[in-house]
Each structure stands twice: as C-alpha cells, then as structure tokens.
Chain A
Amino acid sequence: MGNSAIEIAGLRVVRGGVPVIPSLDLTVPVGQVVGLLGPSGSGKTTLIRAIVGAQIVEGGTVTVLGLPAGSAALRRRIGYVTQSPSVYGDLTVTENLRYAAAILGMDAAAIRHALTDVDLLGHAGQSIGTLSGGERARVSLAIALLGRPDVLVLDEPTVGLDPVLRRDLWELFHRLSRSGVSLLVSSHVMDEAARCDRLVLLRGGAVLADGPLADLLARTGTTDPEEAFLALVDQAAARDASGPAGVAARDGAGTGAGT
C-alpha cells in the first residue's frame, strides 16, 4: 500500500456499449516514471480517465494514494494532462495558468516556475491561438505541474514535439520522480519505452506486460521494445488459441509482472 501510487483491481469500463477495458489489474509504484505504452485504441486514454476520476466505470476499484479515484482530496494531488491540450485558445499562456493557479491556490512565482519547467517563459504573454501544437501541449503540461502534484498522469505529452524538447521533458519527468512524484506517462510510440523506469504494455484494454524494459527484453529474447511487444502479442495469441480460457492466458502474461 505504502509504496504504490495507483492500485487498480478488476477495472471494467464500457464505452459506447463496448467493453473497452474488460478487466484490468495494475499497480503503479511511488516515485517512478511508468510508461503506459500501447497502440492507438488500446485503451490508454480510457485507463487514464479512470485514474483521474473522469471516466464512468462499470466495475472494479481504482485507488490513488490510498483514496478511491475521483475523491475530492485527490484533486489537489493529481496533475492530469489530457491527450489534446486542454487550454483556452482565446487566452494568453499566462491567463490560462492564472486561472488554474487561482483554483489550486498558487501564486505568480509558481506560474513562472511551471513555465520555466516547460521552457515557455518566453511565450508567457502570447495568445494560445498563435502557439504551435507542441507549445500548446507544453502549456497544458505546465498547468498540470502548477499545483506540485504527488501523482502526474500524462496522456501522450510528448507527441509532436521535436527530439530536443522530448529529451528535455523526459529529463523533467525523471527530475520530478527523483523528488518523489509518481508519473504515469502514456505513449503510442514504442521507442519512448527506453526512457521509462517501468513499462506497462496495453493492448485491447488488457495489460500485456508490466515491468522494467530489461526484464521484458530478456523474457521475450528481443532487443527492442517494439519487437518485445510483437513477441508478447504472438505469445498471447498462441495461448489464446491453445489454452482453455482467456483467464489462463492473462495469468501467463502476468507472470513477468513481478509485482
């Protein structure tokens, strides 16, 4: 309990009549950068929405910092970055942060600090409408950083950024994790795996594998995350075909999780 930031047991989410997440168990440890990797449509956003309490769920429990997801007390302690930047296009960068700062009870120094973290201090007075997509995404990230949250849940925060910025942001994520923040960062780009302390591979709303990259590579006998993902998909398919039930297949895939 004490060393996990997020605990999910038997989570079930139905969207548009489809069980998008049939039944999911997951533990995210404290103070690590955990990558939530999976192809588009694998359920990353749905899972993240369940963690921040924005998703209507059908069953199971999601516990964040010891409290049920969506609890009022968590609203100061979780930073959430939505997949598309959630910023007001007709406000300036600073005006956007000022509103969030008012809600979180932060001051102007905190706004400057957050803008410095995402390297946008030079754009403070600029209207969101005139920013590039990557800059907008970083404003959205700055808002999530503003309240100095204990848990950061970021939905594809590095998509569309240039390589230098991406490297800088990953460095920021690790700096935050060293200071005790727990991060869950989703991506559909497999080569971001190397930057995470721990990986959760998602496919079809189920956890395909969960563990450090080195373990996954060793277990699958592969040399890069994409190959490992493919090998795991093949293994799961083979087990589904031969095994008696999906439950057995899931248990099999879960043995490497080492939780």
Chain B
Amino acid sequence: MSGEASAALSAPAVRDVPSRVMTVGLTAATARRVLTQLRHDKRTIALVVLLPCVLIGLIAWMFNGTPVLDQFGPLLVGLFPMIVMFLVTSVATLRERTSGTLERLMTLPIGRGDVVVGYALAFAVLASVQALVIVGFAVGVCGMDVAGPIGLVVLVAVLDAVLGCALGLGASALAKTEFQAVQLMPLVLFPQLITCGLLMPRDEMPTLLEWISRVLPLTYALDAMQQLAAGGTWTDVRGDVAVIAGFIVGALVVGAATLRRRTP
C-alpha cells in the first residue's frame, strides 16, 4: 500500500494546476456575496452608520458653546469609522471562521486574494456610506466648523474607514485560530489609540512612543484630520493620504498572503 502511495508521489497521474491568488470574477463574486449578507443584516448597517453619529452628537451636546467640536470633531470623524469598521470586519471574518464556511471555501477553487479583497470591496462600500453620513451629520446637524476643504475631510474619513476594514481583514487572516483572531483585535487597536496623538500631542510623547506611533497608520489618519481642522489643504495632507492608502494595500496583501488553507 505504501509502495503504491510513494509511486503515486514520484509519478503523479495528473498534473496540478497553478493556484491563482486572485481573479477579477471571483473577487467580485465574493464582494457581491458579502454585500448581500450586509443587505440582509439591517442591524449591522444601522450600527455602522448611526453609532458614530450618536457619539459625535453626544460630544457636540456635551461641549455645546465651546470650540471643542471644531477642534476635535474632525479627529473623531476620522477615528470612529475606523474603529467601527475594524470591529465589524473582524467580527464578520471571525463568523466566517467559526461557521466553517471559511474552511470549506478554502477547499474550493478560489484564491485567497479573492476572499480578502472581495471582503474589502464590500466593506469599503459600507465604509464610504458611513463616512459620508458622519461628516454630513457633524457639519450639517452638529454645526462642526472645518477650516480646511470639506471634500478632503470626506476623503480622509472614507480612507480611515476602509483602513479599519483592511486592518480587520489583515489581522484575522494572520490569525491561525479563532482564539488568535480575537486576541489580535485589541492588540491591533489599542497601541494605535494610545500613540496616535489623540491623548497627547505626538511631539510631547517619550521618544520611543513617538517612534512607535510613526509605524502605525492611525497616526497619519489623525494627522490628516488635524491638518484639515487647522485649515490645511491638499498639499498638507497628501503625504498622510498616501501613507494611509499604502497601509490599506499593505494590510490586504498581508491578508491575502497569510490566509491559511490548512489549520491546526
């Protein structure tokens, strides 16, 4: 029996086909499937779109009559979508693992990139809606005043939300087990929250923390928003925008490269 098996190894009867990481059709099929899931899941849509608005609304109300909203509003408009999308994406992919659907998916002729990027595209749609609504709400309803161009605020907010998706996808692909996927969630989020410059201006931080903050994407997301709040223009934020876009692509590439077909 074992002789036969090794004979099979040395002279395979059928040749293997190359495995493609990604194809347009299957990435689109995955995006369509995830969007259909989202469409059926009204509560998640409500949570994603309304929660950041409620938070901004509460802050606007709390600091009514002070310049706090104009100062910090843009930061929060960049931060909340990123966190919410990170959590929603992480939970969605975790469910894909626990339900066994990912296990079967990985035995089918679909590339790992099709799964990761398909998810990212679907969630980017939701992220864009969310970012548009929150900017509209902060400016239109709460009266947030942004010195810089509002179009750029929307652009950065959308990118931040998509960054949240990409980080969620990258982290969960990196995880070997469900348990690791859960552990990675705070591990990705908290260092960024602490060093991004929201708690303390980055130039007042201990050097080590300041260095750490430079390699974490949220830093650039908040810097862009800070610039725009202070009246910055495209020239002031294009560097940040490029870095955020780079992190989005990087996280998706890491995700597609590390998603495992075999698990322990």
Interface residues of A (CB under 8 A from B): 1-2, 4, 7-10, 15-16, 25, 27, 49, 52-57, 61, 63, 65-68, 70-73, 75-76, 78, 80, 82-91, 95, 98-100, 102-104, 127, 143, 259
Interface residues of B in 222-264 (CB under 8 A from A): 261-264
Q: Which segment, of B103-111, B158-166, B188-196, B200-208, faces chain A?
A: B103-111
A132 CB to nearest chain B CB (Å)? 17
Known A-B contacts A7-B1, A75-B109; the reply to A53 vs B14 at CB < 8 A is no
Known A-B contacts A54-B107, A72-B17, A80-B107; the reply to A9 vs B101 at CB < 8 A is no
Residues of chain A lying within 8 A (CB to CB) of residue B36:
91, 95
Residues of chain A lying within 8 A (CB to CB) of residue B99:
84, 86-89
CB-based contact B26/A102 at 8 Å: yes
Asked if B13 is at the interface (CB within 8 A of a chain A CB), the reply is yes
Asked if B183 is at the interface (CB within 8 A of a chain A CB), the reply is no
CB-based contact B262/A56 at 8 Å: yes
CB-based contact A9/B6 at 8 Å: yes
CB-based contact A72/B100 at 8 Å: no
CB-based contact B1/A54 at 8 Å: no
Closest to A153 in B: B107
B25 CB to nearest chain A CB (Å)? 7
How many angstroms between the C-alpha atoms of A104 and B26 in the bound complex?
10
CB-based contact B261/A1 at 8 Å: no
Asked if B46 is at the interface (CB within 8 A of a chain A CB), the reply is no
B80 CB to nearest chain A CB (Å)? 25
CB-based contact A88/B4 at 8 Å: no
How many angstroms between the C-alpha atoms of A29 and B263 in the bound complex?
27
Most buried by A among B6, B19, B40, B106: B40
A251 CB to nearest chain B CB (Å)? 12
What 11 additional pairs, Cβ within 8 angstroms, besides A73-B14, A102-B26?
A: A7-B4, A7-B5, A9-B2, A16-B264, A53-B261, A56-B263, A67-B14, A73-B15, A75-B108, A86-B100, A90-B37
Of all A-B residue pairs in the complex, the 10 with the closest CB atoms, nearest first, are A66-B13, A72-B19, A102-B29, A9-B5, A86-B100, A75-B109, A9-B2, A86-B104, A99-B33, A82-B100
CB-based contact A66/B12 at 8 Å: yes
How many angstroms between the C-alpha atoms of A247 and B264 in the bound complex?
27
Most buried by A among B5, B30, B33: B5
B15 CB to nearest chain A CB (Å)? 7
Select one of B9, B19, B25, B110 contacting A68, CB under 8 A.
B9
Residues of chain A lying within 8 A (CB to CB) of residue B107:
52-54, 75, 78, 80
Enumerate 28 A-B pairs (CB-CB under 8 Å) in ascending A order.
A1-B4, A7-B1, A10-B2, A16-B264, A53-B262, A54-B103, A54-B262, A56-B264, A57-B262, A63-B5, A63-B8, A65-B13, A67-B14, A70-B261, A72-B17, A72-B19, A75-B110, A82-B100, A86-B99, A86-B100, A86-B103, A87-B101, A89-B99, A90-B41, A91-B33, A99-B33, A103-B26, A103-B109
Residues of chain A lying within 8 A (CB to CB) of residue B8:
1, 7, 61, 63, 66
Asked if B187 is at the interface (CB within 8 A of a chain A CB), the reply is no
Residues of chain A lying within 8 A (CB to CB) of residue B41:
90
Residues of chain A lying within 8 A (CB to CB) of residue B25:
102
Most buried by B among A56, A83, A99: A99
Known A-B contacts A87-B101, A90-B37, A99-B33; the reply to A61 vs B15 at CB < 8 A is no
Residue-wise, chain B 14-42 has the 8 Å CB interface mask toward A (1 for contact) of 11111100000110011011001100110
CB-based contact A100/B108 at 8 Å: yes
CB-based contact A104/B109 at 8 Å: yes
Residues of chain B lying within 8 A (CB to CB) of residue A52:
107
Asked if B199 is at the interface (CB within 8 A of a chain A CB), the reply is no
Closest to B5 in A: A9
How many angstroms between the C-alpha atoms of A4 and B26 in the bound complex?
32
Select one of A55, A73, A84, A98 contacting B16, CB under 8 A.
A73
Residues of chain A lying within 8 A (CB to CB) of residue B262:
53-57, 70
How many angstroms between the C-alpha atoms of A10 and B4 in the bound complex?
12
Residues of chain B lying within 8 A (CB to CB) of residue A84:
99-100
How many angstroms between the C-alpha atoms of A130 and B231 in the bound complex?
53
Residues of chain A lying within 8 A (CB to CB) of residue B16:
67-68, 71-73
